[in-house]
Structure 1
């Protein structure tokens, strides 16, 4: 009888192992697993509660998910929202030990950092801190990226709501643009860098132009290098298309600090239709290229420039 009493619990335990009912407390199946843009599995035992964000778009999207106290550090190039400016800042060009010292349970980086500062990333990971390298280059990737952020932070429901909001507002923009005959749509050149660079047709900026009802004059532009969304265009091609450019939009940011009056005075620009009709506009890079919910604001802003009678919604 005593032998049976010993064997019975042992048999039950073994059956549990075979059927998967008995699992180690920290087994991989209990972890949050997200594959980042390097194809690397980022594993967390629980939603991140101490996050260092090394890219302004990550920071902005974390706030959009309703996070604040969980963000213990941000990049040194933050601009929005205002609350982010009060957070301690860290640079990927600096010492990784400074980030390790604050004991984050997740560091968010982007592919530029991983490609150009691999030792920085390796040091953080060597300290046992997970690093998720994420950078959505287009809108489809952006919506998937929001879901990944939601998984990593335990905000799946909020991420789903943001995706729904994004798609709903895109539908509204589509409805506004649908009524504009193709032959009446404004032809636009977007300058991303002051040396007459533009955006690639698969970029966030090109998407914003299209959703705002613009015809992208530089839709055939090729990337300056593989993986980049910046494309060289040059004065010769610009002038060749000059008579067709109704509106000249300048993406203003770190890579382009041009002023409107300066653009009107550029040599050779006088053949451009938009120059003669005084249709040059500056648009903040953060709302036209940065992968955040504010791309929707960028669509509205560009739409109001091109078709003010149609884009009247907020």
Structure 2
């Protein structure tokens, strides 16, 4: 009898040890809340109870990874899915696949695996194996724009960064409100209509309550598919179709197609060459644009960048206003980046492939400038200007630098003009007395012969400084010529 009591007591101790909630221990999911320090219900209805924040996280969704980095918890991610390549540091994290053997995940000893409901629906046995190993599995995904804040707060609770979540959510609201103030000032009669193509298959669009639907509204666009209905419950993809598009052909001022791994619309050429699409106003006027799904449909803080891009497509004369640079101040390289993107209306550059960082690049790898923080406002302009070929970085000891505060030189401007423009060699050559001092004399000669840049007392003066106005004048001549 005594031995039987001991066995029962040991069994109870074992059960309590196994199911005691606490990140870093074992599975913390249950059907009831508890007195745990961290407690919430995930998006599959599982009660998550944690004694402390998690510090060894495997993320199986690129948005989770990106948001954790934004919240300052990137150092807590020990495993990442292959599509999680933003910021650039995320691409260096060990890759895990939910289509492979779950033993690899179990062996990594995470204290939490963050998934989304899509994964449970598609590979339930994989998720179950992780849970059976005693690892906490949290499933999160915001189905609509209204769910984003709650999603971020739950993600922050897992990593213990609730304070930073509040800061970042307030910053997002501020940025969205600032953009809305700009576009709301546009008279209604001057507003432009837009069609957003979410998938080339059946020419689908998005639901009005989606993040894209919200972005269109904030960008000041008139969504011609504002009443489109979801293809299924919980999806932001909506039915529309070719017939409905052509019925509105005369009203579509701007046509935007998102491209990406999850949902991909048509290419610029593909849309322009579709039978019957030659009557679409945006196609006729050359106002068809491509945008990366990562800044449009992915539930991250970069959604404001997507909204800003839509506003740039809709109202370039407002959003790409460069009047603040129309002055005689000596230009820095950061100034040059801003001016280049605005004057040339260059769309925001974002890596389009999850395999981007598997390749080596001669000139520049996106996000790798040591002196440009991916969280800075200047990041998008510097990266976009560089990726467009308008600027170059500096390679020093196997590292890349942009040197944003360094003064622009005349030869750097000449190289940018050649790269961004379509200049042709002239039948004559203007004599440049210091041409031998130029690193790329051919480019300098062409810029001078085309009267884009003037000589200074017969000299080009390649290392000389340039003003913001000189950059604007040179780039405008090139853009207008194209």
Where 2:255 maps in the other structure, the secondary structure is strand
1:259 aligned onto 2:267: yes
Looking at structure 2, the residues matched to 46 and 299 of structure 1 have their Cα atoms a distance apart, in angstroms, of 36
Show the 5 A alignment for 1:198-213: 198-213=205-220
Distance 1:131 1:40, change over 3 A: same
Deviation of 1:312 (Å): 4.6
Q: 2:59 corresponds to which residue?
A: 53
Looking at structure 2, the residues matched to 95 and 270 of structure 1 have their Cα atoms a distance apart, in angstroms, of 50
Q: 1:276 corresponds to which residue?
A: 284
Looking at structure 2, the residues matched to 62 and 124 of structure 1 have their Cα atoms a distance apart, in angstroms, of 21
Deviation of 1:113 (Å): 0.7
1:145 aligned onto 2:151: yes
Q: 2:8 corresponds to which residue?
A: none
Structure with higher Rg: it is: 2
Distance 1:297 1:107, change over 3 A: same
Looking at structure 2, the residues matched to 178 and 207 of structure 1 have their Cα atoms a distance apart, in angstroms, of 14
Where 2:295 maps in the other structure, the secondary structure is helix
Where 1:30 maps in the other structure, the secondary structure is coil
TM-score (norm 2): 0.58
Looking at structure 2, the residues matched to 117 and 31 of structure 1 have their Cα atoms a distance apart, in angstroms, of 31
Show the 5 A alignment for 1:291-310: 291-310=299-318
1:93 aligned onto 2:99: yes
Q: Does the CA-based 8 Å contact 2:36-2:49 persist in structure 1?
A: no
Looking at structure 2, the residues matched to 102 and 309 of structure 1 have their Cα atoms a distance apart, in angstroms, of 52
Q: Which has the higher contact order (CA 8 A, sep 6+)?
A: 1
Give unmatched runs, 5+ long, in structure 2. 1-19, 23-32, 322-376, 378-482
Looking at structure 2, the residues matched to 171 and 110 of structure 1 have their Cα atoms a distance apart, in angstroms, of 29
Q: Does the CA-based 8 Å contact 1:246-1:273 persist in structure 2?
A: yes
Deviation of 1:258 (Å): 3.1
Deviation of 1:79 (Å): 2.4
Q: Does the CA-based 8 Å contact 2:144-2:236 persist in structure 1?
A: no
**RMSD over equivalenced CA pairs, Å:** 1.8
Distance 1:245 1:72, change over 3 A: same
Deviation of 1:257 (Å): 6.1
TM-score (norm 1): 0.88
Q: Does the CA-based 8 Å contact 2:65-2:74 persist in structure 1?
A: no
1:248 to 255, 276, 281: 255
1:82 aligned onto 2:88: yes
Q: 1:230 corresponds to which residue?
A: 237
Looking at structure 2, the residues matched to 153 and 25 of structure 1 have their Cα atoms a distance apart, in angstroms, of 15
Q: 1:182 corresponds to which residue?
A: 188
1:197 aligned onto 2:204: yes
* Residues 277-305 of structure 1: CA deviation (Å, up to 9, x unaligned): 11100011000110101001111111111
Give unmatched runs, 5+ long, in structure 1. 1-23
Q: 1:16 corresponds to which residue?
A: none
1:105 to 108, 111, 115: 111
